[in-house]
Amino acid sequence: MRINSFVCGPLTVEINEGKIISVIEGYVKKGKSKQEVIDYADAVVMPGLVDVHVHLDEPGRTQWEGFYTGTRAAAAGGVTTVVDMPLNNHPTTVSMETLKLKLEAAENKIYVDVGFWGGLIPENALNTSILEGLLNAGVLGLKSFMCPSGINDFPMTTLHHIKEGLSVLARYRRPLLVHAEKQHHSKNHLDHNDKGDHRAYLTYLNTRPPSWEEAAIKELIGVTQHTRIGGSLEGAHVHIAHLSDSSASLDLIKEAKSHGDSVSVETCPHYLAFSSEGIPNGDTRFKCSPPIRDAYNKKKLWEAVLEGHIDLLSSDHSPTVPGLKLLEEGDFLKAWGGISSLQFDLPVTWSSGKKYGLTLEQLSLLWSKKPATFAGLEAKGAIAVGNHADIVVWHPEQEFDLNDDYPVFLKHPGLSAYMGKRLSGEVLDTFVRGNLVFKKGKHAPAACGIPILAK
Ligand SMILES: NC(=O)N[C@H]1NC(=O)NC1=O
Ligand SMILES: [Zn+2]
Ligand SMILES: [Zn+2]
């Protein structure tokens, strides 16, 4: 099969047996006989997105999302690989046995390729053989929380657990992703028992100040110094999930990187597209942790992205059921924290980013090459000879309204914070390993995604 496209000049990508076999500047008019040629004219052909932070919640909470709905939404949004988080599913993915349950649940249901993070919790951190079993079974790395996760069977880890986990991960050369917020009480800090207006977003924002992120990251940086070349944790890598604070927390990460620590950081579209000032009273679709901060913070976060201080983007797609989002009560303190977004990674990032000067090359690095490399997926994330033919074809300038008529494939479309927005950048077609999994608004009849296991 050949794909022709005209972006920065004509381009032809040749695909055979799921892999890219040539990338040629210019249109190749004559191919082998019987070879299928798709001409995309002036649409953009880019590597499919690799979303390394997605909660698919199956098994156990399929009513929240699920492999079928989540990966169909991913395919419709040009996301060709997702890496599933070890929590919100039940049981959580914290052992070889629970990973097996994930794999069984995913069978014949996934429309894009799916990798898995395992969970680092106190129990397995203190039992190396459980962790080794989980890593040997193929999780791409581990994830832990420095504050309560909101899920009973996923307890938070202390720095001691994190160090234990890193010493195992160092041998496997796989990363630890950390939810870096550390609860502490300060003078202005209102906690959940205080009587602020629960429908006001500011009440919630004040319960999770930037100093929570700063405190957690400061502790982590004390550990990442040992990941430097020659250090006691050489080979280990710490990745800070969903950074929201673009001030002191970011400065700490920059400093650690300047010393050669093996550390990276992601942020998410909701921190780049929204600001606290614009969140309506009672609209709990916008509740997440760490919280969406003010417009100045957002601007600084975009600057950090464009200057390369933020390594990659991910969705932290974390949906739930309408009942737990408490939309009617609009109670920001009691509602589930998590933003539903997976299908909109590409248009949301583009619509917001182009106002700040984001280029297509940067977009592609942040959403494909960098996350693929981070997760150890060498054959993904770039249109290059030998790579998987994971491709999104899209029209960056095509605008659309996310209204009730728009085909949203997520389990609960109405819960997404992006509904009602006008976005720029419509996906035409999505290929996963050469299979056309989404074409002009329709999915392929069969789910041809495969699970990705580390060797
Ligand atoms: N458990 C879970 O998905 N938590 C996520 N939700 C959110 O808003 N931040 C998270 O870490
Ligand atoms: Zn998190
Ligand atoms: Zn998450």
Q: Which pLDDT score is estimated for 27?
A: 79
Confirm if 48 and 368 have CB atoms less than 8 A apart.
Answer: yes
DSSP E strand boundaries for 202-277:
237-240, 263-267
Q: Which pLDDT score is estimated for 32?
A: 63
**Any residues with CB less than 8 A from the CB of 56 and at least 6 apart, and which?**
65, 66, 67, 70, 71, 82, 84, 85, 89, 114
Cα 333 from Cα 416, distance rounded (Å): 18
Q: Which pLDDT score is estimated for 2?
A: 84
- Sheet of 118-119, strand order: 118-119, 142-145, 175-179, 237-240, 263-267, 312-313
Confirm if 315 and 347 have CB atoms less than 8 A apart.
Answer: no
Share of the chain above pLDDT 90, in %: 91
Confirm if 76 and 343 have CB atoms less than 8 A apart.
Answer: yes
Tell which one of 146, 177, 318 to mutate to probe ligand 1, the residue whose CB is within 8 A of the most ligand atoms. Answer: 318
Q: How far is CA 260 from CA 201, 244, 253, in A?
A: 38, 23, 11
- Ligand 1 center from residue 126 Cα (angstroms): 24
Confidence category of residue 11, pLDDT binned at 50, 70, 90? confident
| H/E element, 15 | strand 10-16
Q: Which pLDDT score is estimated for 35?
A: 81
Predicted confidence (pLDDT) at residue 16 exceeds the cutoff of 90: yes
- The domain in which residue 252 lies consists of 47-379+409-424
Q: What is the number of structural domains in the chain?
A: 1
Residue-wise pLDDT for 198-239, tens only, equals: 999 999 999 999 999 999 999 999 999 999 999 999 999 999
Phi, psi (rounded to 5 degrees) for 321: -90, 155
Does some domain include residue 353? yes
Residue-wise pLDDT for 417-450, tens only, equals: 999 999 999 999 999 999 999 999 999 999 999 9
Residue-wise pLDDT for 408-421, tens only, equals: 999 999 999 999 99
Confidence category of residue 308, pLDDT binned at 50, 70, 90? very high
Does some domain include residue 453? no
Nearest CA, atom 9, ligand 1: 289
Tell which one of 57, 64, 147, 149 to mutate to probe ligand 1, the residue whose CB is within 8 A of the most ligand atoms. Answer: 149
Does some domain include residue 279? yes
Confirm if 86 and 154 have CB atoms less than 8 A apart.
Answer: yes
- What is the DSSP code string of 179-191? E-------TT---
Two tokens, residue 152: 């009973």
Ligand nearest the Cα atom of residue 179: 2
Does some domain include residue 237? yes
What atom in ligand 1 is closest to the CA of residue 149?
1
The CATH number given to whatever domain includes residue 329 is: 3.20.20.140
What atom in ligand 1 is closest to the CA of residue 145?
11
Confidence category of residue 396, pLDDT binned at 50, 70, 90? very high
Does some domain include residue 15? no
Does some domain include residue 164? yes
Q: Which pLDDT score is estimated for 54?
A: 99
Enter the ipTM.
Answer: 0.98
Does some domain include residue 206? yes
Q: Which pLDDT score is estimated for 38?
A: 93
Residue-wise pLDDT for 149-168, tens only, equals: 999 999 999 999 999 999 99
Averaged confidence pLDDT in the chain: 95
Does some domain include residue 438? no
Predicted confidence (pLDDT) at residue 8 exceeds the cutoff of 80: no
Pairing of strands 263-267, 312-313: parallel
Two tokens, residue 276: 């606290």
